[in-house]
Structure 1
C-alpha cells in the first residue's frame, strides 16, 4: 500500500507546523499578506472548532465562495481539520447555476466574500438547505443591511473564529486517505454541473505526479481559483514538501513576469490560452533573465521549444482532469524528442476505444479510458449522482471523454474533447488542431473553433477570433493563410471576429456559449463569399 493517513491535510499541516513553524507557506501578491506554517495551523484549527460549534460533522459539506486569495487555502484546510468536505464555488456563478451547487451540495453553512453575497441573497428563496452565511471582508453596517433581507443566519468572519481554541480539534474517527477532501464541480455541458468527490489520496497523487519537479526549496506562482485542480494540486504539493506559494487573484499577462521576478518564483503553470498570451508578448532583451526554472504547460502549444529557449526554463506536461490524477507525464528532457502528453505512468492501465469500447489500432483516434491499480487515486464518484458515476465507469473503465491517438512507442497525443470534435462530410476534425493553425497567424491573439449544423448534414467549421490589439484582419486573407497550412476540409467556412471570448476563471474557453447563437449576423460565410479552398 502506497498511502497512509499521514497524507491527509490535517496531519501534513501539523507536521509542517512542528518542523517549520516560522517558514512562510503562502503570500498574497495584492497586499503582501502571508502565513507561516504555525500561524496557518492555528487559524485552521480555530476554523475547525468554529465549524464544530455550529454543528458541522465529519463528512458533511461546507461551501466556500471567495476570490483567489489566502482565504481560498485556509478555508479548505479549516474544513479538513475536522474531516468536513469543502465545496469551492466558481466565483463567476450566479442565478440557477449558483443555486444548483448550493442545493446539490446539501451544505448548511457557506463562507463567502462580501462582494458575492448579493448573488446568494437573490436566490435565497430557492436554497433549501443553507442555514448560515459567514461573511469575509464585511463591515458591521453592511452585515446589518444584509440581515434585513433574509431569515438565514448571517455573521461576520471575525465572530466565527473568536473565543475558540487554536489547538487541533478532537476527532472521534481519524480522517482516512480514502475520505473526501473536497467536492469540485465540473462545468455542465450536457446537464447540470456534477460534484467530483476528490479524495485525499487523489490530491496527494496529483501533487506527487503533477509537480514532481518542484520541492521544498521552490516558490510557486499560483493565479488559479480554488475550484480548479491546478490550485489544489500545488497547494497540496507545497504543504507536503514545505515549499512556498505566491497567490495572485487571477492571471494577468502584464503582471506575470513582474510578479515572478519580485517574489523570486521558481515554478508556475500555464493553462490553455495563458501560454499563447505569454508567448505573443513583444520580446525583450531580459526575457531569459528571470528566476523561473520550471513550468507545467497544459496543453502543449507548437511554440513550446521557443518558450523554453526564450525564457530559459524547463517545461513539463501531463494529461489530467478533475475526475482522475496525472496519468501521463512528459519531462522537459523528453520534449526534445517528442511533443506528446507522454507515456502512461506506472500504476495505470489505458486504452483507446471506439463508441462500443472496442480498442482501436495504433495510430487511430479513440476515446481514452483508464483504470488505476491503486485505490482512491481517482474520484470516489459524482456526489449524489450514481447514474452518472456508473455511466462514466462503463465496463469498469473510467471514460475520460477525451480523444487521443497513440504511436508505436506508446506516446499519447491529445486530439480533442470527444464532444468538441467536428464531423464534416465524413471527415473527423480536431477543433484544437484548427485553432493552433489559426493562432499561428501573426494578427490573431486567440480563437475558438466549434462545429455548427450544416445544411448538407453533419457540421461545418466555425472560427471565433480575437485579433491582437483589435487589428483588422480580413476573412479572405486568413483563408489564404490557412490554405498552405491545413487540409481543405479543415479550413473554416464560418468566421466571426469578437473583442473577447467567454472564459472560465482559468481562461478555458466556454464553447457552449459560442454555440448558442453560432450563425449570427456577425458571422462571415466563405461559401457565400464565393471563396473555394479545393
Structure 2
C-alpha cells in the first residue's frame, strides 16, 4: 500500500496519483461489462465535474443519487468530490415519506436518477422545493416527463460531458465532507452521517490490515453502492491500492460462486446472513474452486473453521459503524472465538459504559462507545440534526447503540443491538445468541428472534424460522431442540416456520422492524397453546 501524506488523503488527490502511474490498469467492473481504467475515470470525472459546475454545483453542495450498482454512481461521486461537493446516495427502495425525509433533510438541489426509478419517485420529487434539477441516467428527458417529473430543469447524463476533461482548480481538504450516507432509520427518522475524506482513507487502511490486503488483491462485492460497505471496500480499497473492484447488481446465493470465479477477485465481504446462506447451500465439489483468498464475515459465522475448509479461504471479522470506522478487527492469523477483533488503539479509544455512561470493567456487558485519537477519522455528525448529533456524541463519546464487552487484552465482543435485547421475566436475552443456536439446527436456513408483548410482563420471544424449499420442520421438534440447547429463560414461546425468505435490508441484514410489526399471526405456533 502506498501511504499518502495526510493532506493528500482526499479522493481527487488519490485518483490523480493512480491515474498518472497506472492509467491503463483496470479499476472498476460492473457485471460482465468491460472494466474501466484509472485513466479513463480521471478524465471522465474531470469532464463531469465541469458539467456539474455548469449547473451551479460547488463546494458544500449536496447532490442526491438514486442509482443501482453502475459506473455512473461512481463517476458522479468522484466528480462531486473534485468540486468539494457532497454525494448523497439514496437507497433505491425508498418511497413516499421515507424518501421525502431523506431528500428534504439533505437539502439536495440536484438529483441524478436512473430511468427505472422515475415513475415511483416522481410524486415525492415534485414536492421538494429545493430540488431544481433532475439528471436522467440511461434514459431521456421524455422518460422523465412521461413519468411525471415536473422539475424546471431535466437533462440527460450524457449532456453533462460536453465540456473539457482538464483538472479543476478546487482545493479539497481531507477534512471536507465527502459523503452523507443515510442510516436505515430503524430507531427513528433516517440520519445522514457526514463522512469526511479522511474517514474513508483510515477505514480502508485498517480494513486492509485485517484482510492483509495488498495491491495484488482484487475485490468482489454484491453490496449496494448507496451503502458504506459497497463504497468503502468495493471502490475505495481499489482506489487506494491501485487494483480492481468488481460489482454485481445484488447478492444471489445460487450465482455467487460463479460470479466470484468470473471476477477473479481474491477478497470480498459477507454481511448479515450472507455467510450463513452460502453455508446452507447444497455442497458442491467446486466449492473450493474459487479465487478468493480471504473474506470478511460480519458477524462471524459460528462454523468459521468448517467454512474456511469447505470454500478454501480465510475469514476475518471486525466492528464498525458508518458513524465510526473500523474500530476493531482480527486477522487470518490472530483471532479469538466470539470476538469482533482487537481495538485499533492507535486510532480509536473504545469503552463499555452503563446507562449513566459510567465505565464498566473488562468482561462486563454495556454499551459500546467510541472516540477517535486522530482528527477527522470518524463522522462529523448527522446532517441538519443537531439534537441527534449531540445525543449520540454525549459526554465526549459516540454511543453505538450496541451491547458488548472488552476483555483484559483489548479484544471487543459484540452481543447485540441494545434495541434487540429482549427483556423476559427479569433476564436479558440476546437475539443474536438465540439465533446462533437455532441456526445450528440442520434444517434451519436462517431465523430472526424478536420481542412481542407478554400478558405477564416485559416481553415474550417470537422466532421466525426459514427452512429450505421442499423440506419441513415440525414446531414441536424445533422446540424440543431449543429446550435441549438453550437455557430455560431463552427458549422461545412462539415459532413461525416457513420457506419464504425473511425481509432484507439492501445490505442483506434481516429487516427486524418489519418482523416486529408482523408479530404473532395465524401461522405462528404458540407453545403455551400447543402444550
TM bracket, shorter-chain basis: over 0.9
Counterpart in 1 of 2:461?
A: 461
Counterpart in 1 of 2:72?
A: 71
Residue number among 175, 178, 185 corresponding to 1:188 in the alignment: 185
Distance 2:289 2:125 in 1: 52
Counterpart in 2 of 1:228?
A: 227
Structure 1, residues 296-335: CA drift from partner, whole Å, max 9, x if none? Answer: 1111010111111111212111101110101111111123
Count of aligned pairs = 524
- Per the TM alignment, residue 261 of structure 1 is displaced from its structure 2 partner at its CA by 1.4
Query: Bigger shift: 295-304 or 115-124?
Result: 115-124
Correspondence list, 1:403-422, <5 A: 403-422=403-422
* Aligned CA-pair RMSD: 1.6
Counterpart in 2 of 1:211?
A: 208
Distance 1:187 1:112, change over 3 A: same
Is the Cα–Cα contact under 8 Å of residues 220 and 267 in structure 1 kept in the other structure? yes
Counterpart in 2 of 1:392?
A: 392
Distance 1:207 1:123, change over 3 A: same
Counterpart in 1 of 2:310?
A: 310
Say whether residues 1:199 and 2:200 are aligned partners: no
SS at match of 1:328: strand
Distance 1:151 1:186, change over 3 A: closer
Distance 1:144 1:116 in 2: 13
Correspondence list, 1:120-131, <5 A: 120-131=121-132
Distance 1:423 1:145 in 2: 52
Is the Cα–Cα contact under 8 Å of residues 215 and 242 in structure 1 kept in the other structure? no
**Structure-1-length-normalised TM-score:** 0.95
Counterpart in 2 of 1:82?
A: 83
Counterpart in 2 of 1:495?
A: 495
Is the Cα–Cα contact under 8 Å of residues 197 and 381 in structure 1 kept in the other structure? yes
List 4+ stretches of structure 1 deviating above 3 A.
Answer: none
Correspondence list, 1:468-507, <5 A: 468-469=468-469, 471-498=471-498, 499-507=500-508
Is the Cα–Cα contact under 8 Å of residues 27 and 242 in structure 2 kept in the other structure? yes
Query: Bigger shift: 9-18 or 284-293?
Result: 284-293
**Structure-2-length-normalised TM-score:** 0.96
- Segments of 5+ residues of structure 1 without an aligned counterpart are none
Distance 1:258 1:480 in 2: 38
Residue number among 9, 13, 16 corresponding to 1:14 in the alignment: 16
SS at match of 1:165: coil
Correspondence list, 1:28-427, <5 A: 28-29=30-31, 31-139=32-140, 141-143=142-144, 145-146=146-147, 149-161=149-161, 163-171=162-170, 174-212=171-209, 213-234=212-233, 235-335=235-335, 337-347=336-346, 348-427=348-427
Distance 1:527 1:377 in 2: 51
- Per the TM alignment, residue 492 of structure 1 is displaced from its structure 2 partner at its CA by 0.9
Structure 1, residues 73-110: CA drift from partner, whole Å, max 9, x if none? Answer: 22211111111100000011111111111111111101
Distance 1:214 1:525, change over 3 A: same
Counterpart in 1 of 2:6?
A: 4
